[in-house]
Structure 1
Amino acid sequence: MNTKYIDLISQTFDFPQEEFKLEEKQLQFHDIDLMALVEEYGAPLKFTYLPQISNNINKAKGWFKKALKNNKYKGKYHYCYCTKSSHFKHVLNEALKNDIHIETSSAFDIDIVENLKKEGKITDETYVISNGFKRSQYVTNIARLINNGHKNAIPIIDNYEELDLLSQEIEGKFNVGIRIASEEEPKFEFYTSRLGIGYKNIVPFYKNQIQGNKKVKLKMLHFFINTGIRDNAYYWNELHKCLKVYTSLKKICPSLDSLNIGGGFPIKNSLAFDFDYEYMVDEIINQIKLACEDEEVPVPHIFTEFGSFTVGESGGAIYEVLYQKQQNDREKWNMINSSFITTLPDTWAINKRFILLPINRWHDSYERVLLGGLTCDSDDYYNSEQHMNAIYLPKYNKEKPLYLGFFNTGAYQETIGGFGGLQHCLIPSPKHILIDRDEDGNITTSLFSEQQKSEDLLKILGYEN
């Protein structure tokens, strides 16, 4: 009878996979020896595998290049990275190696842009697409960027007041985009996104505030779907509505030449993940071209804003199972040496699922368990009630330590978790390392941040000067 954990995985999924394989009975991620990381740095441990950022960027650029060619599409494609997914310098440095552009969402993002410009990582030719609801500091920072000569800065108008606010602070002529307030999926508690301007109001807004304004030129229409790019009726219906607005606007606005199809690609959240990226890209390009041909307007240049897709699959977290609690005749709780609420907050906040695999003991027998974090909060757990599948792991044995890896955690978790700040129940943030490859392809590691110490938290709390 096949009772080993490796048998369970092999029978359930196609394994090994592109990024996962076993080497000497232990899990490897992109050929990284994860147990060697644990032995060198300990656990809990967070890591970022930097080359995966470039890998995903270039995959997407390749899909769009092929789609433009297949459809004889005359517009250009521009890849933008949403900084809100991860603002860290090592992430931006890696992403910007690949001739990409940037999307911002708040005032301090512009300070990051200016820092990158000083270091020569971006230039005035780099598109800076500024989204979000803009108040005074954000407006001031955008204006400063444009006034200092960044000609490819395009603030995206989110509400009726923003154009006037920007005009007051920007000295010369400037370009803008308009964000469409898309309708949300039926499962949402509201019908229309709080961000942007409604479909029916965009053409009147253009006529009233932009058409006769010699200082402002409309260059972009921004279309964002909160649930991302999906092959379902909801997505295609919203895209078609967006294209109707674009073609109507293009007929009266010659300067409009770009369509930003915001809302990113999904990333792998299980070994059974299946998404045909190439088909989706080709179909999106095809639909845009057909809509423009039907209305006899030129096709737009295409911008995408991929945040999670850019950085998500580069991240991971490793924990050790400290202890097993048998709470009743059916439930076994494996207690990890950290907290899900603080280190993987999306598992708690939006029931997000990540790839979970043991690092070692793949040839031991397995059992069904629940996973619990260290805080005293009853919601600090990860189990089959919150997620689609039951959790099966090698059987707990206090004489044989078990290490668990959560993968593709690179987007949002550090910022939502409050990196460097207070954590729930004062559970410290774990050590974080960066993994790269040298010119010969050899793996290199470096320490980005140490695990928080008590004095770090006491200082924040005011107990120490």
Structure 2
Amino acid sequence: MKNKYIDLIDQTFYFPQEEFELKNNWLQFHGIDLKQLVADYGSPLKFTYLPKISQNIKAAQGWFQDAIKAHDYKGEYHYCYCTKSSHFKHVLDEALKNNIHIETSSAFDLDIVQQLKKSGKIKPDTYIVSNGFKRDQYIDNIAQLVNQGHDNSISVIDNYEELGLLRGAINRPFNVGIRIASEEEPKFEFYTSRLGIGYKDIVPFYKKQIQNDEKVSLKMLHFFINTGIRDTAYYWNELNKCLNVYVQLKKICPELDSLNIGGGFPIKNSLAFEYDYAYMIHEIVGQIKQYCVQAGVDEPNIFTEFGSYTVGESGGAIFQVLYQKQQNDREKWNMINSSFITTLPDTWAINKRFIMLPLNGWNNEYERVLLGGLTCDSDDYYNSEQHMNAIYLPKYNKDRPLFLGFFNTGAYQETIGGFGGLQHCLIPQPKHILIDRDEEGNLITSLFSEQQKSEQLLSLLGYSESPLTVTSEEDVELPETINYSI
């Protein structure tokens, strides 16, 4: 009888997979010895595997170049990373190794841009695409960047007043884009995005506000929908509506040369995940080419803004099952040594699901369980996986610690959870480990941040006379770097 956890996985999925395999009955992730990681750093912990960021960027760049060649496409492709997915320095440093550009969402984003310019990570030819609703400080920071001479700065107009605010703050010619207020799917809670300007209003806005202004050049039309880039009738219909506006504008605005199709590439959230990235890119490039040729206008440069796709699959979290509670004849609760609300807030806030696998116990019998966090909040739980409305794990044995991994968690969790701040029920944030490879391919691990301490939380709450700063890469005493071959 096949009743072991490994049997369940083999019967349900193709396994091993590109990033997952077993070695000595312990799970490995991209060749990372997770058993050793737990032995070195304990749990709970979070980690970032930096090479995965570059791997995903290079893959997308390659798919776009293949599609451009296949369609004899005349425009260029530019990969932007939208920093809101993860603002951490180690993420930006890794991403910027790959000849990419930056999309910003707020005033403080541009402070990060200025730091990266000073360090030489952002070059004069790096595009800075500034999106979002712009308040005074955001306008001032955009103006500072442009007035310093960063010509590849494009401020994407979100509403009718922003252009006047930018004119007043910038003292030299500057480039803008216009964001389309796309129509949402019929099942959505509202009809039109709150961001951008409506389809029918864009051309009149250009004629009235930009066409005869020698100081302002319209360089980009920006298109984004909440459901992301998916092979659905809705997506293709919205893309065609966007292309119709682009063609209308291009015929009266020669300097318009770029189409930003936003982001929304999905990331792997289940071992059953399937998505043909190359096919979607091929179809998008082909449709843009065909539409422009039929209209008699030049194909635009294509920009994308990939956030979760860039950084999401680099992250993971590891917990230990502390205890099992049998609450009735059907429900078993495996209590983890952290909180979902604290550590993976997307699971609580929007019911997001990640790949969840045990690190050990694969040769044990399996059982159906629920996962509970440490807080006293009834919403602090995880009760299903992406591919099924249930969770199965190796049977709990109090004498044999069971460790769980949540994978592809690298986007948004720290910013939503408020890294370094107060956490629900004062459950501390776990330590965070950075994992890289040297030139020989050996893994290198280092401690980015320690687990939060009581003194830090008490300081935030006003109980300490001297403010304490969050332990970071700069002010924590790091252990010796650990190197081990795989």
Asked if TM exceeds 0.5, the reply is yes
- The equivalent residue for 1:117 is 117
- What's the counterpart of residue 434 of structure 1? 434
Query: How much does 1:273 deviate?
Result: 0.1
Shift of residue 342, structure 1, vs aligned partner: 1.1
* Cα contact 1:351–1:386 (8 A) shared by 2: no
Structure 1 gap segments, 5+ residues each: none
Instruction: State the distance in 1 between where 2:387 and 2:31 align.
Output: 28
Give yes or no for contact 2:175–2:219 (8 Å, CA) kept in 1.
yes
What does residue 162 of structure 2 align with?
A: 162
- State the SS of the aligned residue for 2:180: strand
Equivalence for 2:225: 225
The equivalent residue for 2:449 is: 449
Query: 1:194 corresponds to which letter in structure 2?
Result: R
Query: Which structure 2 residues correspond to residues 275-354 of structure 1 after superposition, within 5 A?
Result: 275-354=275-354
Report Cα offsets for 1:112-158 as digits up to 9, x if no partner.
00000000001121000000000100000000000001000000000
Amino acid at match of 1:222: H
* AA of the residue aligned to 1:305: E
Letter in 2 for 1:29: F
CA deviation vs aligned residue, 1:418-463 (integer Å, no higher than 9, x gap): 0000000000000000000011100010000000011110000001
Write the distance in 2 (CA, Å) between the matches of 1:32 and 1:251. 53
Aligned to 1:13: 13
Q: Which amino acid aligns with 1:107?
A: A
Deviation at 1:188, TM superposition (A): 1.4
1:2 and 1:290 mapped to 2: Cα distance?
54
Give 1:375's aligned residue.
375
- Does structure 2 conserve the Cα–Cα contact (< 8 Å) formed by 1:226 and 1:263? no
Q: Which residue of 2 aligns with 1:418?
A: 418
Map 1:37-436; keep pairs closer than 5 Å.
37-384=37-384, 388-436=388-436
2:270 touches 2:386 (CA, 8 Å); kept in 1? Answer: no
Query: Does structure 1 retain, via aligned residues, the 8 Å contact 2:320–2:337?
Result: yes
Counterpart CA distance in 2 for 1:5 and 1:42 is: 24
TM-aligned CA deviation for residue 390 of structure 1: 1.2
SS at match of 1:220: strand
Q: Secondary structure at the match of 1:419?
A: coil
> Offset of 1:234 from its aligned partner?
1.0
Separation (CA, whole Å) in 2 of partners of 1:75 and 1:169: 32
Q: What amino acid sits opposite 2:210 in the alignment?
A: I
- Residue 387 of structure 1, CA deviation: 7.5
Amino acid of the structure 1 residue aligned with 2:293: E
Cα root mean square deviation, aligned: 0.9
Shift of residue 385, structure 1, vs aligned partner: 8.9
Output one character per residue of 1:294-325: Cα deviation in whole Å (capped at 9) or x when no partner.
Answer: 11111000000000000000000000001111
2-structure distance, mates of 1:331, 1:441? 45
Cα gap change, 1:451/1:96 in structure 2, threshold over 3 Å: closer, same or farther?
Answer: same
Query: d(CA) in 1 for partners of 2:387 and 2:143?
Result: 45
Please tell me whether the aligned partners of residues 385 and 391 of structure 2 are also in contact (alpha carbons under 8 angstroms).
Answer: no
Deviation string, structure 1 residues 72-131 (Cα, Å, up to 9, x no partner): 100000000000000000000000000000000000000000000000001121000000
What is the SS of the residue equivalent to 2:330?
A: coil
Q: For residue 328 of structure 1, what is the amino acid of its counterpart?
A: N
Contact 1:355 1:406 in 2 (8 A): yes
8 Å CA contact retained: 1:353, 1:387: no
Distance 1:2 1:385 in 2: 21
Partner amino acid, structure 2, of 1:95 = A
Deviations 1:178-199 (A, max 9, x none): 0000011122111000000000
State the partner residue of 1:26: 26
Q: Which amino acid aligns with 1:378?
A: S
**Do the aligned partners of 1:220 and 1:258 also contact (CA within 8 Å) in 2?**
yes
1:379-406 CA-partner distances (Å, limit 9, x unpaired):
1111139984310000011001000000
Asked if 2 retains the 8 angstrom alpha-carbon contact of 1:351 and 1:387, the reply is no
Deviation at 1:227, TM superposition (A): 1.5
Aligned to 2:458: 458
- Inter-partner Cα distance in structure 2 for 1:337 and 1:449: 18
Q: Distance in 2 between matches of 1:97 and 1:264?
A: 22
Letter of the aligned partner of 2:182 in structure 1?
Answer: S
After the TM superposition, list the runs of 4 or more consecutive aligned residues in structure 1 that deviate by more than 3 angstroms: 385-389
How many Å separate the matches in 1 of 2:375 and 2:152? 47
Distance (whole Å) between structure 1 residues aligned to residue 179 and residue 84 of structure 2: 18
* Cα distance, 1:32–1:371 mapped onto 2, change above 3 Å: same
Question: CA, structure 1 residues 416+273, in 2 after alignment: closer, same or farther (shift >3 Å)?
Answer: same
| 1-structure distance, mates of 2:307, 2:345 | 17
* Aligned residues with identical type, % of pairs: 78
What's the TM-score, normalizing by structure 2?
Answer: 0.95
Q: Secondary structure at the match of 1:246?
A: helix
For 2:315 and 2:348, the matched residues in 1 are separated by: 18
Q: Secondary structure at the match of 2:369?
A: strand
Give, in whole Å, the separation in 2 of the partners of 1:62 and 1:204: 38
CA positional deviation for 1:464: 1.0
